[in-house]
Amino acid sequence: MLIRFQVKNLFSFKEETEFNLLPSRVKRLNHHKYPWGGIEILKLSAIYGANGSGKSNLIRSISLLREMLLDGIIPSALNSQKFTLSSEALNEPVELAMEFFVDPLIYYYSITINNGIVIDEYFSSNDRDQKDQLIFHRTFGDNKTLIKFFDEFEEKPENQVLKNVIEKDLIKKEQPLFTLLNSISNQAFIDIKNVFNWLEDSLIIIYPETKVGGMAESIHKGKEFKKFATELMSSFNTGIANLKVEVMNLEEFFGEDNQNTIDEIKSELKSNPKQMVSLNEQKPNGDEVVVVSENDKIVAKRLLFEHKDDEGKEVEFKLEEESDGTRRLLEYLPALSRIIYSSRTIIIDEIERSIHPLIVKEIIEKFSKDEATKGQLIFSTHESNLLDQEILRTDEIWFTEKNIHGSTKMYSLSDFSEHNTTDIRKGYLTGRYGAIPFLGNLQDLNWHKFQDEKK
């Protein structure tokens, strides 16, 4: 799970800025603290701030670091979107760092990039006895890359050969060493492989434009997940009585006039039978359809939603016939299931997008009060109804605000030492904690004077 994240000179973050999930001395909602060795990690975090204050930029920064480590390529944004309101910052490097827990260790990773070149990269672990262990430290200078590995690796003569090959031939100055080492079959790099799997499977980021994918297969194959999804969607009063999956052969789904498409998909799946081809990418607001190889047959699976008509009969709806809010809720289902039952981290940008405020509050409150959850939920929001000390601890509420130079700063509500009876929602809306829009003299604006002359 995520412990802390640091960013400097990227998007609206000029100075080094830290966001963390470390508990303060707050005594409320103690079950929100997941213990590990000598530390504790919070299960929830809500990020508030005015439009353009940097909430989404924080999530984008985390996402870019994840993307870079998984793909092994520096995203263009890390070169082109430094803090642009300072000429000095344009010549400075971008710095990203993250501390996180992957059982049984805590890991720390940092990277410094300038003009598309990795000039410093550091990776270490920390065990339950708080013993630090360097895994690697990579530096770049005088057009040369130098790497120091952990002592046990460096002490073996045969590893010096591998190290020299990596430094001189394999590593590229614009490539993360982390990703390269993950591709090398060597038991010495098992920590890197564990973290790579965590980034790929357990750190999940959902944006407002994220589209659901693979749900038809998940509903069809996972009986317990189907029950979870059906009951949850029904409880939201969406009108959905049941979720079902229609299974058909490709000819039936595509029709006889699309044989080329059918042949391409069949060829793709025959070469990789475990692959799943999602067809909803071709129609972003259309059906939720996947094609899989199952029992030596290639079939299409379409997700359908059963509603009850005025006579109590079942009527089937496709995904495209459901509301934006229903589709948005559907996108949350796999994420919610994962953080309830496993130690994963889900980050959602604008959690209330297209969803009624009461439903959002019910979801967060349910997760907050459940003492058996295992994962983390981090989200950005404008929904002030969540500012309730019965739902969130004050150290789980963060604010983003821009200073007079346009740079984002982040701070926690726990910095204000509020009493547990304080109405923090009212305090936020009246500007007690900052992080709200400054509207200037909007009421005095005569917007009629800007009307174009009629022709």
Radius of gyration of the chain (CA): 25
pLDDT value for 444: 77
Mean pLDDT, the chain, whole residue set: 91
Average pLDDT over residues 164-168: 94
As a whole number of angstroms, the distance between CA 408 and CA 401 comes to 5
In 3D, which of 257, 269, 273, 102 has the Cα closest to residue 192?
Answer: 102
Q: Express each pLDDT in 299-331 by its tens digit.
A: 999 999 999 999 999 999 998 899 989 989 998
As a whole number of angstroms, the distance between CA 165 and CA 380 comes to 44
Q: Express each pLDDT in 219-251 by its tens digit.
A: 999 999 999 999 999 998 889 999 999 999 988
pLDDT value for 352: 94
Percent of all residues in the chain with a pLDDT value above 90, rounded to a whole number: 73
Average pLDDT over residues 156-169: 93
421 — pLDDT class (breaks 50, 70, 90): confident
Highest CATH level, class, for 1-202+343-439: alpha beta
Helices 357-369 and 324-341: angle between axes, nearest 10 degrees:
10
- Helix (H), strand (E) at residue 151: helix 151-154
Q: Express each pLDDT in 80-128 by its tens digit.
A: 999 999 999 999 999 999 999 998 899 999 999 999 999 999 999 997 7
33-36/132-141 β-pairing: unpaired
Burial class (CB in 10 A: 0-12, 13-18, 19+), 435: buried
Cβ neighbours around 270 below 10 Å, total: 11
Percent of all residues in the chain with a pLDDT value above 70, rounded to a whole number: 97
Question: Global pTM?
Answer: 0.92
User: For residues 232, 388, 203 and 101, what is the CA-based torsion angle, rounded to 10 degrees?
Assistant: -130
pLDDT value for 387: 96
Average pLDDT over residues 137-141: 96
Average pLDDT over residues 354-378: 95
pLDDT value for 286: 65
Helices (H), 170-288: 177-182, 190-201, 215-221, 223-235, 250-254, 259-271
Q: How far out from the chain centre does Cα 277 lie?
A: 23
Average pLDDT over residues 128-139: 88
As a whole number of angstroms, the distance between CA 332 and CA 211 comes to 10
Q: Domains of the chain: which residue ranges? A: 1-202+343-439, 215-325
